[in-house]
Amino acid sequence: MTHNEKFQLNDGSSLPKIGLGTVNIQGAIGVNSMLTAVEENGYRLIDTSTNYHNEGAVGEVIRRSTIPREQLIISSKLPGAAHDYNQAISMIQESLYRIGIDYFDKYLIHWPLPMQGKYVEAWRALIDAQKFGLIKTIGVSNFLAEHLERIIEETGVTPATNQIERHPYFNNKELVETNKKYGIVTEAWSPFGREINDVLENETIKEIGEKYGKSPAQVIMRWNLQNDVLIIPKSSSAERQKENLEVYDFELTDEDLETIDSLDKGEPGRVEDQHPNEYEEYV
């Protein structure tokens, strides 16, 4: 198993190509499942958020793990209620206290919330938090081309990553290309459609997997890797966490990649209709 391949980022650092998503991984059960991911399966990147109500659990994992802190990559996200500059700085500090660490390896603005109109201010806070040593790599999430253009133009600082919805029914190809144009690494959220859609049951994906003796989840992982997209699948099961990493012993053909691309449904394909210009998240 070789899942220690890395993406080089535009800020000079690097990230593993696969991380662990943690939506709904909470409490003592969540701690055990994240510990399994880290200790038994070798995950190093943990994707959390203030809104996932599990930053404390992530901290517990760090404390209980035998893996040194420097080898773990802890990533969290700024909630919508804290886009104001001072609130953003306090929120980053509060999240660090909750987790019990003194820096984030990566930290993202969770949603742009353009109707609130403060994402440039929030971006300035992340830029300064990085200067203060609170964050190593700063990035964004759910930012469309116009939001990226604005923060880059107004601050001169390009995010290192943009975490966006991406799965075969909503491949977000144009935005992946926009990210590439700016030298931003795309991270795919809900790569398996969060079991809200039936992408893991899709016959076309199953057939592609059968050619290689691989599961639909593994085909989707590979489709992302071969498109230079970082993936953060969530699994609370030790077996499925492992399965999602066993994707370095086969390669999809260009035809397979195009076939998967052709499953895109455009806007109606989004899992929960969360368009970044409309989605409101002010908690």
Ligand X SMILES: NC(=O)c1ccc[n+]([C@@H]2O[C@H](COP(=O)([O-])OP(=O)(O)OC[C@H]3O[C@@H](n4cnc5c(N)ncnc54)[C@H](OP(=O)(O)O)[C@@H]3O)[C@@H](O)[C@H]2O)c1
Q: Which residues are annotated as a binding site for substrate?
A: 110
266: left (phi over 0), alpha (psi -120 to 50) or beta: left
Which amino acid appears at position 42 of this protein? G
Query: Does 279 participate in catalysis according to the annotation?
Result: no
Q: Which residue lies nearest ligand X, judged by its C-beta? A: 21
The reply to whether 142 sits near ligand X by the rule CB under 6 A is yes
* Beta strands 20-21 and 104-109, pairing class: unpaired
Instruction: Name the minimum Å distance from CB 22 to ligand X.
Output: 5
Distance between CA atoms of 65 and 43, rounded to whole angstroms? 12
Q: Which is nearer to ligand X, 95 or 141 (CB)?
A: 141
Token pair belonging to 102: 């003194």
Which one among 11, 13, 23, 89 touches ligand X, defined by CB under 6 A?
Answer: 23
Which one among 89, 120, 152, 200 touches ligand X, defined by CB under 6 A?
Answer: 200
The reply to whether 195 sits near ligand X by the rule CB under 6 A is yes
The reply to whether 191 sits near ligand X by the rule CB under 6 A is yes
Instruction: Name the minimum Å distance from CB 253 to ligand X.
Output: 22
Which one among 189, 225, 229, 230 touches ligand X, defined by CB under 6 A?
Answer: 189
Give me the 213-252 binding string for ligand X, x by CB under 6 A, dash otherwise: --x-x--------------xxxxxx--x--xx--------
Token pair belonging to 190: 């809900």
With H, G, I as helix, E, B as strand and everything else as coil, classify residue 200. Answer: helix
Angle between helices 145-155 and 173-181 in degrees, nearest 10 = 20
Instruction: Name the minimum Å distance from CB 238 to ligand X.
Output: 9
Q: Compute CA 3 distance to the chain's CA centroid, rounded to the nearest angstrom.
A: 16
Taking residue 258's Cβ as centre, other Cβ atoms within 10 Å add up to 10
Would you please indicate which residues are annotated as catalytic (active-site) residues? 52
